[in-house]
Amino acid sequence: MDWALVLQIVGTTLGLLYLYLEYKASIWLWLIGLIMPLVHGMLYFSKGLYADAMMNAYYVLAGLYGWIVWKNKRPSGKPLPISQTPLKVALRLMGVYALLHISLFCFLYYCTDSTVPFLDAFTTALSMIAMWMLSRKYVEQWLVWLVVDMVTVGLYWYKGIPITAGLYTVYCALAVVGYLRWRRMMLTPVNE
């Protein structure tokens, strides 16, 4: 069996489980988030998506960070609530995104044989921002993921990993549903 096909199937299965746990706002998403990047990292590297492959090392670290943040109780004794991204934070995140995108693009363009340096840098930089937003339970992280997912569908079809492109097509729909659910959870004081 083709190794890339095996990685796509395992990665897709883990990805769907991860997204279900994220939708439920379950802390267990972080456990899957420690395993899934290893699978996807190998797949992306084999397809020349170097920034996406490197991003998966970040995902492991972000998974550890997210687990710690979600696990620790606030001074009030309650878990971290779902909330909107403060404007000041959003502006800083836009600046961080721009620096990440430019840096990754330059690295991919000048130091690798990447055939898609702009899009690879775009999805990687924006994914890093979305992952951090998820760790802080900002509801808008779903909208950032939606943009990443829409671009990624085309990118992965182009790079010849259609099963993973299909996973990101599902991610697009679920990002909308997840946003609506988290928004409802944010506005409803009672836990679902």
pLDDT in tens, 124-168: 999 999 999 999 999 999 999 999 999 999 999 998 989 889 989
> What is the DSSP annotation of 46-79?
HTT-HHHHHHHHHHHHHHHHHHHHHHSPPTTSSP
Q: Is the pTM of this model over 0.75?
A: yes
Q: What is the largest CA-CA distance in the chain?
A: 53
* Residues 6 or more apart whose Cβ sits within 8 Å of residue 76: none
Is the pLDDT at 117 greater than 60, yes or no? Answer: yes
Measured distance CA(100)–CA(120) in Å, rounded:
12
Average pLDDT, the chain: 91
Is the pLDDT at 191 greater than 70, yes or no? Answer: no
Is the pLDDT at 186 greater than 50, yes or no? Answer: yes
pLDDT in tens, 36-56: 999 999 998 988 888 778 888
At residue 190, the pLDDT reads 55
What mean pLDDT is predicted for residues 79-94? 95
Convert 116-127 to b/e letters by CB count within 10 Å (16 or more is b): bbebbbbbbbbb
What mean pLDDT is predicted for residues 61-85? 85
